[in-house]
Structure 1
Amino acid sequence: MAKKKIDEMSFLDHLEDLRWHLIRATLGVLFAAIIAFVFKNFIFDVIIFGPTNMSFPTYEGLCKMSQLIGINDTTFCADEFPFTIQNRTVAGQFSAHIWTSIYAGFVIGFPYVLYQLWSFISPGLKSRERKNSRGFIIIASILFFIGVLFGYYIVTPLSINFLANYNVSDKISNEFDLSSVIAIIRSSAIASGFVFELPIVIFFLTKAGLVTPQFLRKYRKFALVIVLILAAIITPPDIASQVIVAIPILLLYQVSIYISAVVVRRDKRKNSKLKST
């Protein structure tokens, strides 16, 4: 779309353009959701129910680590979890199949959703701004997928292990509802995916002049508190799990400070070159 045409577009024209980008993004997610719907056995038996089995790689790794430091009596080395998964509603399994496919479609189609978002925004940017933002879709997608994997392989197993083995009385048996198990896995994975987008968010906030590296360094202590609160929200209430989740988020915050500083330095150089010419 030419720059002149962009300038001539009215507010309603922009809304119409946004509507078509949203439609394309939705169709992309639905297409990926159909693929996930077809591969039902893989999605549920391997991915959804993977963290509910003690043979899951995370539990095996944590079991070996516990044994190396002399801790043999740990829930990570158990034979099986003390709970069963059941469905309590007539349409429960079908609904779980539909909604799980849609969420899986969103995760799979995330790069295409970003592409549609970027296709709407980029024509309104200057050529220099588009050049500086080159690789946005690739980097943002990689960070999102890393976050999803972190949520799936770290946050989810820690949550399930803690909650499955927590009991207030031996008279109570755990019979978890299917929707509850799926909700834990979904929220942990997708929430972590969005949290890992922090460097991208800081990059654009810095480009917009809303954030500076000095600001991020000044409020580092407040950021630490927010990170700990966030870790407490998306993990079970035990200190070890919260620390494990908080560490990568703090590293992302430090990376964001570095990115913000790089953006500011580049902008200063370009402004100085423009003044000298």
Structure 2
Amino acid sequence: MNRNHDAAHSEESAEPRLIDHLIELRARLLRAVVGLILVFLALMPFASDIYAMLAQPLLASLPASGKLVAVDPAGGFFVPLKLAFFAALLVSVPWLLYQAWAFVAPGLYQREKRLAVPLLVSAVALFYIGCAFAFFLVLPTVFGFLARFTPDVVAMTPDIGKYLDFVLVIFLAFGASFELPVALVILVLLGWVTPQQLKDSRGYAIVGVFVVAAIITPPDVVSQLMLAIPMVLLYELGILASRWLKPVSEQSPTA
């Protein structure tokens, strides 16, 4: 009789907790969306200026009279707005991650919080660094390389929509690739691999890095090398970081 009463009481107490979690989740999602919308509205008046800045790596490699064209009649209006939304999303990443963290943090142990915070901050910083690396180094180098080998009888007039899609893919590729050290640290902390195993697998990792770079970058050697070489260095950084965060006594993988 007492067991049935305890089970019924446990079910009754679990239901309010679930409702409280759902209410908290809804509030966090609402705050995240409202923050994103506010940033987007703030950037909308500057959409054309943002696109002009984004187009500079390509325009610098074109002739003085070179310009981008809008194949779609409405492209001149909607493409800058699309860029403004993605720029707002990029700017809002810390706010969005904070809302996610505020939701899950109460359920974490203190040790997990101490590890999660630097990993989260490092992931955001590395993603921004990857995007900046792509914009300031990769795009000017790639466009200069392509323009140098374009025949003089061919006029380069890229479409603004296709150019934006290309740049966004490059940003995503480099931003995600720069997350490699964080991914390695997480694997070590989970006990799936050890720093020594990562070190011993360095040769295979380098081959894999060049394969990945060949797949996700444009079909030219320059961009592939400019992604592969930083990823190899980031792999080494991931090994060093995992050794620092994982005590020597805990470096054996769990069964």
TM-score, scaled to structure 1: 0.74
Check 1:125–1:108 CA distance in 2 against 1; reply closer, same or farther (3 A cut).
Answer: same
Number of the residue aligned with 2:228: 246
CA deviation profile, 1:147-179 (whole Å, cap 9, x unmatched): 110011122223322334444x66543321111
Number of the residue aligned with 1:232: 214
In the alignment, does 2:134 pair up with 1:151?
yes
Which stretch has the larger CA shift, 172-181 or 251-260?
172-181
Q: How many residues align?
A: 239
Number of the residue aligned with 2:173: 191
In the alignment, does 2:54 pair up with 1:48?
yes
Check 1:199–1:41 CA distance in 2 against 1; reply closer, same or farther (3 A cut).
Answer: same
In the alignment, does 2:101 pair up with 1:118?
yes
d(CA) in 1 for partners of 2:125 and 2:26?
26
Counterpart residue type for residue 48 of structure 1:
L
d(CA) in 2 for partners of 1:49 and 1:40?
12
Aligned counterpart in structure 2 of residue 107 of structure 1, from 90, 105, 117 = 90
Which stretch has the larger CA shift, 107-116 or 171-180?
171-180
In the alignment, does 2:250 pair up with 1:268?
yes
Aligned counterpart in structure 1 of residue 198 of structure 2, from 193, 205, 216 = 216
Q: 5+ unaligned residues in a row in structure 1: which ranges?
A: 55-77, 270-277
d(CA) in 1 for partners of 2:129 and 2:204?
25
Check 1:266–1:229 CA distance in 2 against 1; reply closer, same or farther (3 A cut).
Answer: same
State the SS of the aligned residue for 2:117: coil
Counterpart residue type for residue 91 of structure 1:
A
C-alpha contact 2:131 2:175 (8 A) present in aligned 1: yes
Check 1:154–1:233 CA distance in 2 against 1; reply closer, same or farther (3 A cut).
Answer: farther
TM-score, scaled to structure 2: 0.79
Aligned counterpart in structure 2 of residue 95 of structure 1, from 56, 78, 93 = 78
Q: 5+ unaligned residues in a row in structure 2: which ranges?
A: 1-12
Q: Measure how far apart 1:137 and its partner are.
A: 4.1
Q: Measure how far apart 1:117 and its partner are.
A: 2.2
State the SS of the aligned residue for 1:30: helix
Number of the residue aligned with 1:274: none
Larger radius of gyration: 2
d(CA) in 2 for partners of 1:82 and 1:229?
38
Counterpart residue type for residue 268 of structure 1:
E
Check 1:151–1:32 CA distance in 2 against 1; reply closer, same or farther (3 A cut).
Answer: same
Counterpart residue type for residue 28 of structure 2:
H
Number of the residue aligned with 2:158: 176
Aligned counterpart in structure 2 of residue 128 of structure 1, from 111, 114, 128 = 111
Number of the residue aligned with 2:3: none
Aligned counterpart in structure 2 of residue 36 of structure 1, from 23, 43, 47 = 43
Runs (4+) of structure 1 moved beyond 6 Å? 5-8
Q: Measure how far apart 1:15 and its partner are.
A: 5.5
State the SS of the aligned residue for 2:40: helix
Aligned counterpart in structure 2 of residue 201 of structure 1, from 171, 179, 183 = 183
State the SS of the aligned residue for 1:86: coil
C-alpha contact 2:185 2:239 (8 A) present in aligned 1: no
Considering only aligned residues, what root-mean-square deviation do their CA atoms show, in Å? 3.0
Q: Measure how far apart 1:81 and its partner are.
A: 7.1
Number of the residue aligned with 1:58: none
